A = this chain, B = another copy of it.
Amino acid sequence: MLVRKRLGGPLAKYFDQTLEDEFWGEKSWEKAESKIIKEATQMVISKSGISSQNIDCVFAGDLLNQCISSTFGLREINIPFLGVFGACSTFVESLSLGAISIEGFANYVLCATSSHFCSAEKQFRFPLELGNQRPPTSQWTVTGSGASILSKTGNGPYITNITLGKIVDMGIKDANNMGAAMAPAFIDTLIAHFEDTGRSPNYYDEIISGDLGYIGKDIAIDIAKSKGYNIKSNYNDCGVLIFDKNSQDTHSGGSGCACLATVFSGYFFKKLKEKKLRKLLLIATGALMNSTSSQQGESIPGIAHAISIEL
């Protein structure tokens, strides 16, 4: 599910639903975001054919202070609720915890996240009414929600491996250059994954991050190369994929919890189901800061969690 920026984008046709405006009939952006995650979770439950009574728990979180998009959006869902926060890494964190639960007590786990350009800009940067100019390094928060249900049984695709990331802080302080702040965490988790599994980049059909954007993607390719890993040929980023660089002026690309969540759930999951893609490494990155920490001169700690999804 996605609100299309200027009603377009190269992946628009893959999404279950697109919205014409940012309020979707609600009185505030926060209420709209809650409605988006509510509808996305209802849609994935409906499409799965699984009764919500049989879903053991839901892992969800978002960018809003105290994750209110998820808690208000899912307050009527009547499924045990576990709030998670990993900024833009939230969706893969949820899938990781879901997979751990599926290995244990759970038969079905719902994972969901959302973000909203307007509620995020208002909260992290400036009132939208100011019309502030955005620097070339800035990314555009995706308005949307992605949701997945994990099952103990089924015909795949399967989550075959999880690499949980450590916090990495290289001292970047520019809140308008999140790609640079998060790229070192991406590399840390990428290398940990290869070392843990003994795999190399060419094991995967695609290595996908979210959301480093154009600038962070280039930094990531360069650092990986300096560490002896060539990912240039099969690596891409959801923030690069979701918007069209020429017709949609998003500067360094997309971001927000919903960027990877919609690109994975809408695009890559369908490619996996259609067997056009067999081995995917999905690495979500998050910037673990808030507006107060930036005002107090702090740097931006990054994190990245990785899951491999295979047929």
Which of B28, B81, B164 meets A296, CB within 8 Å?
Answer: B28
Contact between B83 and A30, CB atoms less than 8 A apart = no
Contact between A104 and B100, CB atoms less than 8 A apart = yes
Closest CB-CB distance, A241 to chain B, in whole Å?
Answer: 25
Which of B80, B85, B105 meets A85, CB within 8 Å?
Answer: B85
Across chains A and B, which 5 residue pairs bring their CB atoms closest together, nearest first?
Answer: A80-B164, A71-B288, A66-B290, A83-B85, A65-B65
User: A residues touching B (Cβ–Cβ < 8 Å)?
Assistant: 27-28, 30-31, 57, 61, 63-68, 71-72, 74-87, 93, 96-97, 100-101, 103-105, 164-167, 169, 288-293, 296, 298, 301, 303
Report the Cα distance A287→B80, complex, angstroms: 15
Q: Which residue of B lies closest to A293 (CB)?
A: B68
Contacts of A166 in B (CB 8 A): 77-81
Contacts of A78 in B (CB 8 A): 166
> Would A303 and B72 be within 8 Å (CB), given that A28-B296, A104-B104, A296-B28 are in contact?
no
25 cross-chain CB contacts under 8 A: A30-B296, A31-B296, A61-B83, A65-B65, A65-B291, A65-B292, A66-B290, A68-B288, A68-B289, A68-B290, A68-B293, A71-B289, A72-B293, A72-B298, A76-B167, A79-B166, A81-B165, A81-B303, A82-B164, A83-B84, A84-B84, A97-B97, A100-B101, A100-B105, A103-B104
> Would A83 and B81 be within 8 Å (CB), given that A31-B296, A288-B71 are in contact?
no
Report the Cα distance A56→B82, complex, angstroms: 20
> Would A301 and B87 be within 8 Å (CB), given that A100-B101, A296-B31 are in contact?
no
Report the Cα distance A96→B68, complex, angstroms: 22
Q: Which residue of B lies closest to A106 (CB)?
A: B100
Which of B74, B79, B85, B167 meets A75, CB within 8 Å?
Answer: B167
> Would A85 and B84 be within 8 Å (CB), given that A65-B65, A167-B74, A292-B65 are in contact?
yes
Contact between B68 and A292, CB atoms less than 8 A apart = yes
Contacts of A296 in B (CB 8 A): 27-28, 30-31
Report the Cα distance A72→B96, complex, angstroms: 22
Contact between B164 and A83, CB atoms less than 8 A apart = no
Listed residue (A61, A167, A289) with the most chain B CB atoms within 10 angstroms of its CB: A167
Q: Which residue of B lies closest to A291 (CB)?
A: B65
> Would A167 and B71 be within 8 Å (CB), given that A82-B97, A84-B85 are in contact?
yes
Contacts of A86 in B (CB 8 A): 82-83
Contacts of A28 in B (CB 8 A): 296
Report the Cα distance A100→B98, complex, angstroms: 11
Contacts of A164 in B (CB 8 A): 57, 80-82
Q: Which residue of B lies closest to A61 (CB)?
A: B85
